[in-house]
Amino acid sequence: NAGVTQTPKFRVLKTGQSMTLLCAQDMNHEYMYWYRQDPGMGLRLIHYSVGEGTTAKGEVPDGYNVSRLKKQNFLLGLESAAPSQTSVYFCASRAPVRGITDTQYFGPGTRLTVL
Amino acid sequence: GENVEQHPSTLSVQEGDSAVIKCTYSDSASNYFPWYKQELGKRPQLIIDIRSNVGEKKDQRIAVTLNKTAKHFSLHITETQPEDSAVYFCAASWTGGSYIPTFGRGTSLIVHP
């Protein structure tokens, strides 16, 4: 049971390049989330999904797209990277059991630098 | 929407002292309040949580208290150790619907040996 994994761990892009970050979970969780973490800003929600085939915008969605074609995977895409997207990206998943648990499980993070 | 304020942003203590981190929230509908610990270069991990029907919860050296009337909750760490050094995040959410927690900006706790 690997939990939540993210690929890649590190990436350097040039302005205007595109890339896709992959999040995978093997816990059969319905809910998945993408956050970005910047110094002093906490965790800010980019996009989220409440089930296979669904996606929704979070607090800071501009410049990002997502897809949830399979329940276990949640992809985050940057179509034209900008230096402002330099950040650490965390994926999380959750399977609520009402009244028992609402824990989010986070992946190890992807450190992205855009030059 | 929900707004979570977390203080202080940095907290420096001596080993063995207690540490207290405070958060306030704005949405009275929020009913779930987790705390996460994030060590340098690692992922956030849940350390304790509390629901709105409980005023206090303890787990060994850590405890969380909740005051629903004042809309604030606090993390208490007793007998701090150097390995407690990390960034701590609070969050508030309503567990119905899509569950979108709002996070505080984090507190960097430094425990000096």
Residue A18 vs residues A12, A21, B55, B60: alpha-carbon distances, Å: 11, 10, 48, 47
B residues 89-108 closer than 8 Å to A (CB): 89, 93, 95, 98-101, 103-106
Residue A97 — very low, low, confident or very high, per pLDDT cuts 50/70/90? low
- Give the model's pLDDT for residue A115: 97
Q: Cα(B94)–Cα(B74) distance, rounded to whole angstroms?
A: 18
> Is pLDDT at A98 greater than 70 in this prediction?
no
End-to-end CA distance of chain B: 41
**Nearest-by-Cβ selection for A102 from B32, B43, B105:** B32
Q: Give per-residue pLDDT as tens, A38-69.
A: 988 889 999 999 999 999 999 999 999 999 99
Task: Look at residue A74 in the predicted model and tell me its pLDDT.
Answer: 98
Buried b (16+ CB within 10 A) or exposed e, B15-41: eeeebbbbbbbeeeebbbbbbbbbeee
**Cβ neighbours of A25 in B, within 8 Å:** none
SS3 label, residue B45: strand
